[in-house]
Amino acid sequence: MNQLTSKLTLKTEGECHVVVTRHFAAPPEAVYRAHTDPKLIQQWLLGPDGWTMPVCISEARPNGKIRYEWSNGKGGGFYLTGEDGAWHGSQLRPSGADALVR
């Protein structure tokens, strides 16, 4: 499957959970690293041309924190945070890459 044409699907589970599904032409370990390593996240989770992610905190462990801050380089920007145990439950298990594959 071509990683650039794989459709992303979203499904809600209750009022607080969203399940994101997408197939990648990459080993599970590489996909896991791309979604949990701050240096890798900063390379791909960007907006339009010229946007950067100067702050990327991703504590990929149970009860770990996440904080992503984006900047357009012109004084504008926004952030996403999960300060109170954002990584929990079925989102991330200690088994690493296996946590992202069902």
pLDDT digits (tens, 9 = 90+) for 47-64: 888 899 999 998 887 778
What's the whole-model pTM score? Answer: 0.67
Residue 94 located in a structural domain: yes
Residue 20 located in a structural domain: no
Assigned token pair, 2? 């071509």
Residue 82 located in a structural domain: yes
The reported pLDDT for the residue numbered 53 is 94
Assigned token pair, 44? 């791909």
Residue 39 located in a structural domain: yes
Torsion region of 28: left, alpha or beta (phi above 0 gives left; psi -120 to 50 gives alpha): alpha
**Residue 29: which H helix or E strand, with range?**
helix 28-36
Residue 89 located in a structural domain: yes
pLDDT digits (tens, 9 = 90+) for 13-34: 888 888 888 888 888 888 889 9
Strand positions, DSSP E, the chain:
9-13, 17-21, 52-58, 64-71, 77-87
Check which CATH number belongs to the domain holding 52 and give it.
3.30.530.20
The domain in which residue 43 lies consists of 26-100
State the pairing for strand pair 64-71/77-87: antiparallel
Confidence of residue 66 (pLDDT cuts 50, 70, 90): confident
The reported pLDDT for the residue numbered 93 is 39
